[in-house]
A and B are shown apart, each in its own frame.
Chain A
Amino acid sequence: MTPETIVLLVEDDPGHAGLIRRNLQRAGIANPVIHFTSGERLLAFFARQGALPHREPGGAYLLLLDQRLPGLSGLEVLSHMKDDPLLAQVPVILVTTSDDPQELDRCRDLGCAGCMQKSVDYGQFVASIHTLADLLLSLPVPPLAEIAP
């Protein structure tokens, strides 16, 4: 990802969002972050609907998606995006509190670029963010190319 890439963070818990942003910054990720509190808002952003900011045409986006969300769950948002040829180009990293290996397998099967566990143990949490930062820096994030419907 490039410094121009915009990180989209979907996280209903503002505490979690704060911890993630804080630690990403500490890990050296200075990219702009747009925070959404639900999957619906994220989809509205992509569809350029509602009062919130809309996506820029040709913008490069990377998505950190919480698995458990009010309304549409993380996995539902993910499968919605993978069904849309445009949004399917956005790399998605799933963020979850679960340590269930089966659940992690499933999100990879759905086309996630990666997975990050929000561990209760803060030491592990920080270590996960550092791993995530390394992953983000190595991910190629293409600008969204419009596809004619």
Chain B
Amino acid sequence: MTDRRRIALLAVIVALVSAGSAATAHLFWWNDYLRQQHAWLAEKAKARVHLLAAAARFVASEKHLEDPHEILEAALGHLRRSGEMERLMNLSGNGEVCIGRKDLGVIRFYFSTAPWHGPGHPRRISPTVDYAEPMRRALEGQRGIHMGLDQHGRLSLSAYEPMAFLEAGLVVRTDMEGMEAPFYQSAFYSALAALALTLLGVVLFVKLGRPMIGRLEESQTRLSSIVGHVTDLVVILDEERRFSFISPSARRFGFDPASLIGESLDSYIHVDDLSQVMAAWRRARRFAGLPQPVNMFRAGQDAMWRWLEGVLNHLPQEAGIQGTLFIGHDVTEREMSQRAFMDSEARYRNLFETAPMAFVLWDVNGRITSWNKQAEEIFGWPEEETLGRDLFDLLVPKDEQQKLLLVAGGVLHGEQVTGIINRNRTKSGREIVCQWYNSPQMRTPGEVTGGISLAVDITERIRYQEEMDRLNQILAGRNRELQQILFVASHDLRSPLVNVRGYGEELAHITGELSQMVRAHWPEDAKRQRMVEIFDREIPECLSFIHGGAERMDRLLSGLLRLSRLGRAALQLSQLDMDRIVADALNSVGYRAEHSDVRVHLRPLPPCWGDAMLAHRIFVNLLENALKYLDPERPGEIIVAGSREGGRVFYQVIDNGQGIDPVHHGRVFEIFARLDGAPGSGSGLGLTIVQWAAARMGGEVRLQSELGQGCRFTVILPAEATGAPSL
């Protein structure tokens, strides 16, 4: 049943009750009226009996009458004569007085009088229904009131009185005509009042009840909406701390409110926070109706803890609650950010104190507000001596102040001015060089409250830098000299070799000529035999050593010359198409013509940043090396592959040749190092050049090898322009 219906029913009941009570009031009133009428009638009857009795006693004594009938007749005659008849018979209002007597067991109505008959003219009346019964009772000696219906069917009221000494009865009767009017009137007014009350009820219901119901419904809807949408957690707990109500906001914590009903709160509180929640619970129970704060605690389950805080209020009598109400809100985010803030604060504090940099905080007037340990170390001033002092006066020499005023101005305008290098003064007056990083301190964006300056003492670093620059210059000069010496030496050393070889050949030529002359013209003797031996064997043997030595010297020198040229040539750095460069290198080493039995696999190679000539040289030398030291026991196989890793490209030249014992790995790159010991065709500079060339391009070369297992040379070159200086 809706509230609306309930209230309508209530209104109907109120109307019925008011109608009922009006009717009851009416009946009471009517009853009262009847009782008055009875009393009035009874009194009238009694008065008339007394009057008649007085008259009867008078006439009986005067005339010595004994028969009651005679006495009655004489009394009536006496009254008539004395003019008292009027008093006897006249009944004010519409009433009648009737006297009857029993004559031989039959009731005979002696006479009756009514106002309209006039006094003194009593008439005989027929015994009618409404007289008969009261008269019978009066003649039986009874006294009372009787209600009956007259011959017209109207209600009549009679009072009857016995008159034993006259053997007669008296009935005073009045019809109820006069009484009906007030009855109906009263009934009418009662009905009217009931109607008015009902109408008033309806009006009140319409005017007040409906808006009230509306408001009631609205507030109920509002309440349930609020509870449905409130982000706070609203929980009602029973005596045993079991959930008897949970607001839908519990879903925010990952719980279905319906499924929690009946569960114990305790199992959803973090064990570390249980005691303080329990304390709040006990407090709330002790002080029912007084909300008790519950400090932050973790609620939820497993790893899904949320921070809550709120109030507990024990309301055992409160309708709809009858338990302990908890209203709380989720402060997890606040707590987390608070913790994060504290963590970061601690971190910064820690950083501030332990950073290997001086931290100086200053206000808009350039006065120091904070000064860390490192600042004390660098500048020699303890913090307490610096606070409130002018930063410039304390640290900056006069001639640097102008420049730094601009810096401070920039910072106070919200700019970051970093990397400023200037001279500073320490407490002891020593001058140092510091690098400064200056940022504005802001309370809100745009509101600069001062500056934060970080300083690093770079005095030593600058000294080292200068020293290093100087050494670098010397080194570069030495390097140039060395290159020059290398070039000149190899060039000039070659010059005598031309003579050695040239004149050796000339000598061989002349010796040949001489030999022929001896053979042609010298007689056959021991001297000739000796001369022929000298010409044919000893001189050619000497010459062959001179020749071989010169040739070897020439090879070494041309190697040195190549090396010196690598060192001198200006680098032309660009993005290199390594597929093409390696293919060219393979052609240069005569792979197809001279090594057709060797299989070379060229894998796709990523590009790199370098000098095309040097890169070509690197791969020519590596491929030459690989081809030269193949293992005759097995078919040669060479793989060239490459891959990019980060900013570098790794190229690999892998062969299955003789391999190099790891003990020699360091030596293979040395100038003129030869591991095979045989005077081969190489200059002994191939791998040296590879290493030099890679180094000039900012790269390096690595070797992995085992004797008898082939070599893997890895050339590492920058993938892109690095801006690093090349050698």
Min CB gap B250→A, angstroms: 86
Q: Does B501 contact A13, Cβ atoms closer than 8 Å?
A: no
- Bound form: Cα–Cα A16–B569 in Å: 29
- Given the contacts A15-B502, A15-B503, A122-B501, A68 and B495 also touching, CB distance less than 8 Å: yes
Query: Contacts of B551 on A, CB cut-off 8 Å?
Result: 120-121
A125 within 8 A of B: yes
B497 within 8 A of A: yes
Q: Does A13 contact B499, Cβ atoms closer than 8 Å?
A: yes
A88 within 8 A of B: no
B505 within 8 A of A: yes
- Bound form: Cα–Cα A99–B503 in Å: 21
Which residue in B492, B502, B561, B569 is a CB contact (below 8 Å) of A122? B502
Q: Which residue of B lies closest to A118 (CB)?
A: B498
- Given the contacts A100-B561, A120-B550, A120-B551, A19 and B492 also touching, CB distance less than 8 Å: no
B700 within 8 A of A: no
- Bound form: Cα–Cα A99–B495 in Å: 12
- Bound form: Cα–Cα A48–B352 in Å: 85
Q: Does A16 contact B495, Cβ atoms closer than 8 Å?
A: yes
Query: Contacts of A13 on B, CB cut-off 8 Å?
Result: 495-496, 498-499
Beta-carbon contacts under 8 Å, B107-129 to A: none
Q: Does A19 contact B499, Cβ atoms closer than 8 Å?
A: yes
Q: Does B502 contact A125, Cβ atoms closer than 8 Å?
A: yes
Most chain A CB within 10 A, of B491, B495, B497, B503, is at B495
Q: Does B504 contact A122, Cβ atoms closer than 8 Å?
A: yes
Beta-carbon contacts under 8 Å, A105-128 to B: 118-122, 125
- Bound form: Cα–Cα A100–B494 in Å: 13
B565 within 8 A of A: yes
Q: Does A15 contact B491, Cβ atoms closer than 8 Å?
A: no
Query: Contacts of B506 on A, CB cut-off 8 Å?
Result: 19, 22
Q: Does B501 contact A120, Cβ atoms closer than 8 Å?
A: yes
Query: Contacts of B498 on A, CB cut-off 8 Å?
Result: 13, 15-16, 19, 97, 118-120, 125
Q: Does A68 contact B497, Cβ atoms closer than 8 Å?
A: no
Contact with A along B558-569 (1 / 0, CB 8 A): 100100010001
- Bound form: Cα–Cα A33–B556 in Å: 34
Contact with A along B144-166 (1 / 0, CB 8 A): 00000000000000000000000
Q: Does B502 contact A19, Cβ atoms closer than 8 Å?
A: yes
A-B interface pairs (CB < 8 A), number: 54
Query: Contacts of A122 on B, CB cut-off 8 Å?
Result: 501-502, 504-505
- Bound form: Cα–Cα A98–B550 in Å: 16
Counting contact residues on chain B (CB < 8 A from A), the size range is: 20 to 34
- Bound form: Cα–Cα A118–B501 in Å: 11
- Bound form: Cα–Cα A13–B494 in Å: 12
Query: Contacts of A120 on B, CB cut-off 8 Å?
Result: 494, 497-498, 501, 550-551, 554
Q: Does B499 contact A15, Cβ atoms closer than 8 Å?
A: yes
Min CB gap B391→A, angstroms: 61
Which residue in B491, B502, B503 is a CB contact (below 8 Å) of A68? B491
Q: Which residue of A lies closest to B547 (CB)?
A: A122
Most chain B CB within 10 A, of A68, A118, A121, A122, is at A122
Min CB gap A125→B, angstroms: 6
Min CB gap B683→A, angstroms: 13
Query: Contacts of B565 on A, CB cut-off 8 Å?
Result: 100, 102
Q: Which residue of A lies closest to B558 (CB)?
A: A99
- Bound form: Cα–Cα A16–B496 in Å: 9
- Bound form: Cα–Cα A15–B502 in Å: 9
- Bound form: Cα–Cα A118–B497 in Å: 10
Q: Does B503 contact A19, Cβ atoms closer than 8 Å?
A: yes
Query: Contacts of B569 on A, CB cut-off 8 Å?
Result: 102
- Bound form: Cα–Cα A68–B491 in Å: 9
- Bound form: Cα–Cα A122–B501 in Å: 6
Most chain A CB within 10 A, of B494, B496, B554, is at B494
Query: Contacts of B550 on A, CB cut-off 8 Å?
Result: 120
- Bound form: Cα–Cα A22–B499 in Å: 13
- Bound form: Cα–Cα A100–B498 in Å: 17
- Bound form: Cα–Cα A120–B496 in Å: 9
11 new A-B pairs (CB below 8 Å) besides A15-B502, A98-B491?
A13-B498, A15-B498, A16-B499, A16-B502, A68-B491, A68-B495, A97-B494, A99-B558, A119-B498, A120-B497, A121-B551
B interface with A by C-beta (< 8 Å): 491-492, 494-499, 501-506, 550-551, 554, 558, 561, 565, 569
8 residue pairs, one from A and one from B, having the closest CB atoms: A15-B499, A120-B554, A122-B505, A19-B502, A97-B494, A120-B497, A122-B501, A118-B498
Q: List 5 A-B contacts (CB under 8 A).
A: A15-B496, A16-B495, A16-B499, A97-B491, A118-B498
